[in-house]
Chain A
Amino acid sequence: NAGVMQNPRHLVRRRGQEARLRCSPMKGHSHVYWYRQLPEEGLKFMVYLQKENIIDESGMPKERFSAEFPKEGPSILRIQQVVRGDSAAYFCASSPRGMETQYFGPGTRLLVL
């Protein structure tokens, strides 16, 4: 049973470009969560999605960031017009139902030059 998959594993962007991070949840999981880990800081919640719905985006910056989890395909975290402060590791987690253990993917390391 494959775990949570994320791609790309590493992404380099120049300031002002767009970054698209993909997450495929574990088989049978319909709940997806995105977290960000800045250097020397703990993981911070960004957004919680179910298929075709954003349930909680209270941790997501109001501008430039968006997330989706379409009926078909992976969840996407999109960062427009990236800035150096967006450099971080972005982790996706999934669970089979609400209020269940969250299982994490390997992360995408974003570097903004």
Chain B
Amino acid sequence: EDQVTQSPEALRLQEGESSSLNCSYTVSGLRGLFWYRQDPGKGPEFLFTLYSAGEEKEKERLKATLTKKESFLHITAPKPEDSATYLCAVQSSVGNEKLTFGTGTRLTIIP
């Protein structure tokens, strides 16, 4: 069974203090690893898709990286508007198309 574990559960940072969020996964053949951002009371907002180990993608202050067992979401010089829950999900290349999600990291950026 596919599994995703995210750490830490919650993270508080000062504005401008860079850090990384971790997503460890086990999957029967990785088709893609996805990062989403979710604000309170809203649906997940797509950020990145990573397909193979060594791949990196960037968007503004966010950079996602992928190895064979985990992914990192690096946040550089965060701002208060980056506060949200960040969700990691995997999609297997075997069988159906469902996403298996972790429980997320709740990020708070303090001004």
Contacts and interface: CB of A to CB of B under 8 A. Distances in A.
Interface stretch (B13-21, B36-44, B59-67, B71-79): B36-44
B97 A43 contact: no
A107 B97 contact: no
B34 A43 contact: no
B96 A43 contact: no
A43 B91 contact: no
B16 to A, nearest CB: 30
A43 B99 contact: yes
Contacts of A43: 44, 87, 89, 99, 101
Given A103-B46, A105-B43, A48 B87 contact: no
Contact of B101 (A4, A42, A101, A109): A42
A45 B36 contact: no
B84 to A, nearest CB: 14
B49 interface: yes
Interface string B82-97: 0000010101000011
B91 A99 contact: yes
What is the predominant secondary structure among interface residues of chain B facing chain A? strand
Given A42-B103, A99-B31, A99-B91, A107 B98 contact: no
Contacts, number: 62
A56 interface: yes
A101 B34 CA distance: 8
Contacts of B46: 101-104
13 contacts: A33-B99, A35-B101, A40-B103, A42-B103, A55-B97, A91-B44, A99-B32, A99-B97, A101-B32, A104-B44, A104-B45, A107-B43, A109-B41
Given A43-B101, A99-B91, A104-B45, 13 more contacts: A4-B43, A31-B97, A40-B103, A42-B87, A43-B89, A44-B101, A45-B98, A45-B100, A56-B96, A103-B46, A106-B43, A107-B42, A109-B41
A-B interface, 8 closest residue pairs, ranked by CB to CB distance from nearest:
A45-B98, A104-B43, A56-B96, A42-B101, A43-B101, A42-B103, A104-B44, A106-B43
